């Protein structure tokens, strides 16, 4: 009986050693790793904690969703990095949103951010179409290209395999307003000039 107790204690101690040996995730500090065998999970919301492989980079969709959850909990950790690699590149100016992710961590082709307004995204989660309603059809998720980078001050850019289909329709109102203001300024300037010349040419009445 005594030998059995000692064996049980030894097994328990070994399990505790295994648990304590569960090292932190090397690729993502928000991930919790514990248990025996060691399992690493990332918290996307109160009931969604998928397991991830800490030997690989965590998918951007999971990262964005985890960040939105941390914002909700008052833990804002977003780092804003400006600039773009080429003058024709499209900046992601829509800001962070709460994405819908596939089970493998990929972005779903259509995103709505829990609203009635939806849009299509590429594999990096960047909007590539105009915004529409929930009936909007996003037939496929376009993949971005890849390029080897030196591991020094990394900024990641994504290039779609097809051109975005974003139009200027949301800027039309602002452009028209600017044109109207410019035309009014020109007209008022011409009127002022004509009025000044007319006063100069007008004969003075004798005193």
Q: Averaged over 119-127, what is the pLDDT?
A: 90
Task: Show me where the domains of the chain are located.
Answer: 7-58, 88-179
Would you place residue 91 in the very low, low, confident or very high pLDDT band (cuts 50, 70, 90)?
low
Task: DSSP letter for 151, please.
Answer: S
Does the pTM of the predicted model rise above 0.75? no
* 62 Cβ neighbours under 8 A, 6+ residues apart: 42, 44, 50, 52, 101, 105
Question: Which of 7-16, 68-77, 129-138, 192-201 is predicted with the least confidence, judged by mean pLDDT?
Answer: 7-16
Would you place residue 26 in the very low, low, confident or very high pLDDT band (cuts 50, 70, 90)?
confident
Would you place residue 19 in the very low, low, confident or very high pLDDT band (cuts 50, 70, 90)?
very low
The pair phi, psi for residue 52, each rounded to 5°, is -130, 160
Measured between its terminal Cα atoms, the distance across the chain in Å is 135
Burial class (CB within 10 angstroms; exposed 0-12, middle 13-18, buried 19+) of 92: middle
């Amino acid at each position: 009986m005594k030998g059995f107790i000692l064996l049980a204690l030894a097994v328990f101690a070994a399990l505790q050693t295994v648990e304590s040996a569960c090292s932190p995730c090397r690729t993502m500090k928000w991930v919790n790793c514990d248990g025996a065998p060691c399992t690493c999970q990332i918290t996307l919301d109160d009931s969604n904690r998928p397991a991830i492989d800490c030997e690989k980079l965590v998918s951007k969709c999971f990262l964005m969703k985890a960040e939105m959850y941390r914002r909700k909990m008052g833990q804002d950790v977003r780092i804003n990095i400006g600039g773009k690699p080429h003058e024709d590149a499209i900046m992601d100016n829509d800001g962070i949103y709460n994405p819908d992710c596939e089970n493998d961590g990929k972005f779903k082709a259509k995103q709505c951010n829990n609203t009635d307004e939806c849009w299509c995204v590429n594999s990096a989660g960047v909007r590539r179409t105009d915004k529409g309603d929930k009936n909007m059809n996003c037939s496929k998720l376009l993949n971005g290209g890849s390029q080897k980078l030196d591991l020094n001050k990394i900024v990641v850019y994504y290039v779609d395999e097809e051109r975005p289909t974003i139009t200027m329709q949301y800027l039309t109102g602002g452009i028209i307003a600017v044109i109207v203001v410019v035309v009014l300024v020109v007209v008022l300037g011409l009127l002022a000039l004509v009025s000044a010349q007319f006063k100069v040419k007008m004969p003075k009445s004798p005193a």
